[in-house]
Amino acid sequence: MSINLKDFLILTKFTLSFAVTLSAVFSFILIKQRLSLDIIYPLLGVLLLALGVSALNQYQEYIDDAKMTRTKNRPIASGKISPNEGLAISLGLILLSYIIIYFSLNYTGIIIFTIVVVLYNFVYTKTKKTTVYAAVYGAVLGVIPPLIGWLAGGGDITDIRFLAIALFYLVWQIPHFWLLILKYHKQYENAGFNTVANTFGIHRLERITFIWLLLTIICGLFTIALFPIKSNIIFLLIILLIIYTLYSVFLLRKQHNYLKVFIAINIYITFLMLLLSINILL
């Protein structure tokens, strides 16, 4: 088996997987209120699992990926690596993630990771072509990384602060996914996907996505309220972040710049959680 670094990073969606891992780090810091070596195992576990399930997803969808301009150059779809090689890499990463998370959360971690694999690779991936509501499964998956970080930091999942974080990531996933549908719906349709754009229509989906974007911003504000801000600089940066995000969201209906709003809402959740984490460490 031979695969270069670039193809490995694309196969495992490394940038997205790393961003997913950051959410576990943020929630760990918010409950632990400091950085410690206890973060190493859950961080590596979440990263390896994210890499593994992403690679497995590309193995499952390489035929459809080859039909879309956006995805046709992925390693398996383009023939740079064989499907069997892609499957071996994905299963190896998932197995390694199981071993590592066991050292942090024991069987609780194993169960949670199994739920991720089942939901992502055997529910979400399989239902994307049959139901327009597959994004709901993806939204649930978005809560798992911060859950791992929270539990690894000794937190209780009934804590209102975690529930706020979970709601934030849950709600954010919906417009995150639908903005991609709005941007690439024709490619999805050509590949045989029955997207939510077909059900609602582009204009109606845009209006619904706009509402979900506002809900995401509100959930972020609710999360901020539960973690008192200590620094005026952090407070100012959060205000600027909120203004930037609101400005980008309100331009959605006017400019229909779906990719720009997609980037803005991802910046919002990432930098808001980063600023809250820095605030805790001050």
Q: What is the 3-state secondary structure (H, E, C) of 176-189?
A: HHHHHHHHHHHHHH
pLDDT for the residue 89: 96
Residues 6+ apart with CB under 8 A from 107: none
User: What pLDDT score was predicted for residue 231?
Assistant: 93
- Whether the pTM exceeds 0.85: the reply is yes
State the number of CA atoms in the 13 A half-sphere of 57 facing the CB. 24
pLDDT recorded at residue 195: 77
CATH superfamily placement of domain 7-154: UbiA prenyltransferase (1.10.357.140)
Core vs surface per residue 175-207: b (16+ CB within 10 A) or e: bbbbbbbbbbbebbeebebebbbeebeeeebbe
What's the CATH number for 158-282?
Answer: 1.20.120
> Contact, 57 vs 23, CB < 8 A?
no
**Mean pLDDT of successive 10-residue stretches along the chain, which has 282 residues:** 85 93 96 92 96 96 88 92 95 97 95 95 81 77 95 96 97 93 84 77 93 97 95 97 97 91 97 97 91
**Residue 1: per-residue pLDDT:** 57
Every domain of the chain and the residues it spans: 7-154, 158-282
- Contact between 109 and 44 (Cβ < 8 Å): no
